[in-house]
A and B are shown apart, each in its own frame.
Chain A
Amino acid sequence: MRHDPPRLFTKLLHWFCPVEYVEEVEGDLHQCFEERVISKGLTRARLLYARDVIHAVRVYPTRNTAIRQVSFTTFVDAFRHFLTLAVRNMTRNKSTTAINIAGLAVSLASVLLIGLYIIDELSFDAFHPNADNVYRIGHSYKRYGDGVEETDARAAGYWAPAMKELLPGIKHVTRFSRFGYPGMVREELSNKVFVEPEFFWTDSTFTDIFYVSLFSGGNIREILGNPGNVILTEDMAKKYFGDADPQGLQLVYSRDGMDFPLIVAGVMKSFPSNSHFHPQFIASNQALNPLWKRDNEDRVNSWRDAFTYSYMEVEEGTSESTLAASLRKVFDEHLGDNAKFVSPSIVRMRDIHFTPGKVLELEGAGEKSNLYIFASIGVLILVMASINYMNLATARSIRRSKEVGLRKTLGVGRGTLVLQFFGESLLITVIALGLAILLCVVLLPYFNDLTGKNFSVTNVLGGNVFPWVAALTVTVGLISGSYPAFYLSSFNSAAVLKGKLQTGVSAEGLRQILVVAQFSITLLLLASTLVIRNQMQFVNKSKLSEFEDQIFSVRLTGLIDPASIQAVKKELLTSPYVADVALATHLPRQEQFGWSDVRLKAPLFSETEFIWQVIDCSHDFPKMFDLTFLSGRSFTGVEATDTTQVIINESAVHDLQLDPDHALGVTLEDPFSKKKRTIVGVVKDFNCTSARKKIQPMVINCNVMAAEHMYIRLSGPDYQQAIGAIQQTWRKISPKSPFEYSFMNEQFAALYRSERQASAIVSYFSMLAIMIGCLGLFGLAAFTTEQRSKEIGIRKVLGASSRQIVVLLTSKYVRLVSLSFVIGMPVAIILVNQWLEQFEYRIELDVFFYVVPVILIMVLVTATVSFEALRAAYANPVDSIKSEH
Chain B
Amino acid sequence: MKGTYLGEFEEIVLLAVGILKEEAYGVSVRQELEDQTGRDVNIGAVHTALHRLEEKGYLKSKFGEALEVRGGKRKRIFTLTAAGIRALHTSQELRKQMWSQLPSVILQKK
Contact = CB atoms under 8 A, between A and B. Distances in A.
Residue in A25, A28, A30, A52 whose Cβ sees the most chain B Cβ within 10 Å: A28
Contacts of B42: 52, 55
A32 interface: yes
B70 A59 contact: no
Contact of B44 (A24, A35, A58, A65): A58
A657 interface: no
A23 interface: yes
16 contacts: A4-B71, A23-B63, A23-B76, A24-B76, A25-B47, A26-B71, A27-B70, A27-B73, A28-B25, A30-B70, A30-B73, A55-B43, A55-B45, A59-B45, A62-B48, A62-B51
A28 B55 contact: no
Task: List the 6 shortest-distance A-B pairs measured between CB atoms, nearest first.
Answer: A27-B73, A28-B26, A55-B44, A24-B76, A30-B71, A27-B70
Given A24-B75, A26-B71, A28-B70, A59 B25 contact: no
Nearest to B66: A27
Interface of B: 25-27, 30, 42-45, 47-48, 51-52, 55, 63, 66-67, 69-71, 73-76
B73 A21 contact: no
A34 interface: yes
Given A24-B73, A28-B43, 6 more contacts: A23-B74, A23-B76, A27-B75, A28-B25, A56-B43, A56-B47
A435 B43 CA distance: 47
A789 to B, nearest CB: 46
A35 B27 CA distance: 10
A28 B27 contact: yes
A347 B30 CA distance: 88
Contacts of B26: 24-25, 27-28
Q: Which of A23, A35, A65 has the most CB of B within 10 A?
A: A23
A56 B44 contact: yes
A537 interface: no
A58 B27 CA distance: 19
Given A25-B26, A27-B74, A27-B75, A62 B43 contact: no
B64 to A, nearest CB: 9
B71 A21 contact: no
A342 interface: no
Contacts of A5: 71
A506 interface: no
Interface in A1-29: 4-5, 21, 23-29
A77 to B, nearest CB: 23
Among B30, B48, B71: residue with most chain A CB under 10 A: B71
A856 B47 CA distance: 74
A615 B4 CA distance: 109
Interface string A778-807: 000000000000000000000000000000
Nearest to A24: B76
A732 to B, nearest CB: 91
A31 interface: yes
Contacts of B73: 23-24, 26-27, 30
B29 to A, nearest CB: 9
Q: Is the interface of A mostly helix, strand, loop or mixed?
A: helix
Given A24-B74, A25-B26, A55-B42, A31 B48 contact: no
Nearest to A2: B68
Contacts of B66: 27
B45 to A, nearest CB: 7
A62 B74 CA distance: 21
A65 B70 contact: no
A724 B52 CA distance: 91
Contacts of B74: 23-24, 27
Contacts of A52: 42-44
Contacts of B47: 21, 25, 28, 56, 59
A31 B67 contact: yes
Contacts of B76: 23-24
A62 B42 CA distance: 16
A58 B51 CA distance: 14
Contacts of A26: 71, 73
Nearest to B50: A24
A31 B63 CA distance: 16
Contacts of B43: 28-29, 32, 52, 55-56
A28 B70 CA distance: 7
Nearest to B52: A62
Contacts of A56: 43-44, 47
Contacts of B51: 21, 62, 65
B44 A31 contact: no
Interface string A60-72: 0010010000000
Nearest to B43: A52
A35 to B, nearest CB: 8
B71 A59 contact: no
A30 B75 contact: no
A32 B27 CA distance: 7
B97 to A, nearest CB: 32
Contacts of B63: 23-24
A44 to B, nearest CB: 14
A24 B65 CA distance: 11
B38 to A, nearest CB: 17
Nearest to B69: A34
A20 to B, nearest CB: 10
Nearest to A54: B44
A42 to B, nearest CB: 15
A62 B66 CA distance: 25
Contacts of B67: 27, 31
B87 to A, nearest CB: 20
Contacts of A34: 69-70
Nearest to B44: A55
Contact of B70 (A21, A31, A62): A31
B35 to A, nearest CB: 14
A52 B43 CA distance: 7
A31 B66 CA distance: 11
A198 B25 CA distance: 88
Nearest to B70: A27
A34 B27 CA distance: 11
A234 B73 CA distance: 73
A21 B43 CA distance: 14
A500 to B, nearest CB: 43
A31 B69 CA distance: 6
A32 B66 CA distance: 15
Contacts of B55: 65
A27 B71 CA distance: 6
A221 B37 CA distance: 87
Contacts of B48: 59, 62
Nearest to A55: B44
A56 B45 CA distance: 8
A24 B74 CA distance: 6
Most central of A5, A21, A59 by chain B CB within 10 Å:
A59
Q: Which of A5, A27, A29, A55 has the most CB of B within 10 A?
A: A27
A28 B75 CA distance: 7
B101 to A, nearest CB: 36
A710 to B, nearest CB: 91
Nearest to B54: A65
A159 B70 CA distance: 91
Nearest to B46: A28
Nearest to A28: B26
A52 to B, nearest CB: 5
Interface in A300-326: none
Contacts of B45: 55, 59
A269 B52 CA distance: 73
A615 B14 CA distance: 111
A27 B63 CA distance: 12
Nearest to B78: A24
Contacts of B52: 62
Nearest to A4: B71
Identify the interface centre among A21, A24, A35, A58: most chain B CB within 10 Å of its CB. Answer: A24
Nearest to A57: B44
B46 to A, nearest CB: 8
